[in-house]
Structure 1
């Protein structure tokens, strides 16, 4: 049977909560950094020129996770990634 815990009540019927900083995620800060970097890069060149290197982000992420935390992707995942990366230049071929 599950144990039921009662919440600590403060004056006025307010329920005490954990401080938010204990469970805060660094995600908003990293997202803000990524968007700021992208905005800065857009001031230097066009979005069309920046689009190409964007496709390399998943491949670089897989390589870094493989090197740093030994997260080895499966064969099918590697094949899927190779097909996706090969499709990018194929879609840019002239004559379409």
Structure 2
């Protein structure tokens, strides 16, 4: 049996070109959250499966796992462009 400490586990997990999602399974929630903060992924689940998305939260990766986020305001921002549009009720006379 090979054992690694938290630092080694995070280093192994981050030593990849991909970073969509990760999961940390542990009996110590604080330890799991501490590890989750160090993982280079777009999503991290502590004590849950690696795919557990909901429509109101951002879904997306880092590195070669994609760019951007889907879901919630992140999806709106990713697929829209803010514009300023005005409509005058009558033609302006120039010069004023």
TM-score of the aligned structures, taking structure 1 as reference length: 0.26
TM-score of the aligned structures, taking structure 2 as reference length: 0.26
Larger radius of gyration: 1
Answer 1 or 2: which has greater strand percent: 2
